[in-house]
Amino acid sequence: MSAESERRTETIPEWKREEVDDIVALLDSYESVGIVDITGIPSRQLQDMRRELHGSAELRVSRNTLLRRALEAAEGGLGGLTEHVTGQVGIIATNDNPFGLYKQLEASKTPAPISAGEIAPNDIVIPEGDTGVDPGPFVGELQQVGAAARIMDGSIHVTEESTVLEAGEEVSADLENVLGELGIEPKEVGLDLRGVVSEGVSFAPEELDIDVDAYRADIETAAARGRNLSVNAVYPTARTAGTLLRKGSGEAKSLGIHAAVESPDLADDLVSKADAQVRALAAAIDDEEALPEELRDIEPAGDTAASEPAADDADDAQDDDQADAETADDATDSDTDDDEDEGGDGGDALGDMFG
């Protein structure tokens, strides 16, 4: 506590010093501290909010002068929050991060009626439909506030959706009565976060208002593209080593088949390739007398056409292990077909995302 703060504290009554000390103890026991606006929240509803926050955050309301003294005296660089201590406010403290706190406070807001003299936080709209109100003076009250209304089928109907007040305009007594009769609650009541400090870092509400799903998608996309870059640049990491090994194995096996390298690992594939080539050649010869007996039944069309690519393309003559390697190769190649990366585990879908 600074010398100036000590001098000010010495001049205030004992109960106020105790109040400041209690608030300082509260602030020092939490990782994140914020200032919330409680203007217009009824006492009973404020108590309900306190109960909802129990276990995750603590709300403390006191005189603004005492809140400022406590913020200046507390540790963690909370003095900057004093600029938000104006009007009806409270201190909220939590061990949650500021983003989680903001999300929790926004989710806890509830609809509430609006009173005459208040400023509309958004456009106030009366929807089209049956109001359920019997014919009477109320139809005139609706028309008076700007709603298109008439009596139909024994009750008062709003014939088209009507914007009766725009955001930023003041609510009249007539409109308050109409909205109350219709049960329309056009505003939200809750704790509005003005600012928060967490581990010495200050956050404004607009900095905390993020789309979590979109943020998560951006991170996943960045991670996928990074993995794709690593694979295409042949830069091994713990996450890409397996894919690189499968890709290298597949490429080596394909090269061995095309080059007809004699190897025990390639023998079955080389035989399959040679067999496919012989059958394709036999199918192209019209003179059966020129062929050995076992090749005379080869059909010149149909199945033969399907066998020719297999003879020309060594990749298609691979066994199951080779097929798996080629799939990994295709999934990490930036020039692969879009259809190859659908249904993958994220890493297998990188080719299209990065390319």
Query: Domain 3-109+190-209 sits in which CATH superfamily?
Result: Ribosomal protein L10, N-terminal RNA-binding domain (3.30.70.1730)
Beta bridge partners of 67: none
The DSSP annotation for 58-82 comes to: EEE---HHHHHHHHHHSSSS-GGGG
Q: Which of 113, 96, 229, 262 is nearest to 178 (CA)?
A: 113
Q: 246-299: per-residue pLDDT in tens?
A: 998 888 889 888 888 888 888 888 888 888 888 888 887 777 777 777 777 666
Domain boundaries, the chain: 3-109+190-209, 124-188, 213-354
Q: Confidence band (pLDDT; 50, 70, 90) for 126?
A: very high
Residue carrying the six token digits 């955001």: 167
Element (H, E) at 94: strand 89-94
Q: Give CA–CA dist 35/197, Å, rounded.
A: 9
Q: What is the dihedral of CA 255, 258, 259, 263, to 10 degrees?
A: 70
Residues in the chain: 355
- Cβ atoms of 241 and 227 closer than 8 Å: no
Q: Give CA–CA dist 11/308, Å, rounded.
A: 99
The three-class DSSP label of residue 52 is helix
Q: What pLDDT does residue 39 have?
A: 87
Query: Domain 124-188 sits in which CATH superfamily?
Result: Ribosomal protein L10, N-terminal fragment, domain II (3.90.105.20)
Whether 59 shows a pLDDT value over 90: the answer reads yes
The first and second tokens of residue 142, run together, are: 């609706």
Whether 318 shows a pLDDT value over 80: the answer reads no
CA 103 to chain centre: 12
Give the chain's mean pLDDT. 80
Q: Confidence band (pLDDT; 50, 70, 90) for 5?
A: low
Q: Give CA–CA dist 252/258, Å, rounded.
A: 10
Q: What pLDDT does residue 323 have?
A: 39
- Cβ atoms of 101 and 55 closer than 8 Å: no
**Residue 133 carries which DSSP code?**
P
Q: What pLDDT does residue 155 have?
A: 93
More confident residue, 330 or 107: 107
Whether 163 shows a pLDDT value over 90: the answer reads yes
Q: 188-235: per-residue pLDDT in tens?
A: 888 999 999 998 899 999 999 888 888 899 999 999 999 999 999 998
Q: 6-27: per-residue pLDDT in tens?
A: 555 456 688 999 999 999 999 9
Whether 137 shows a pLDDT value over 50: the answer reads yes
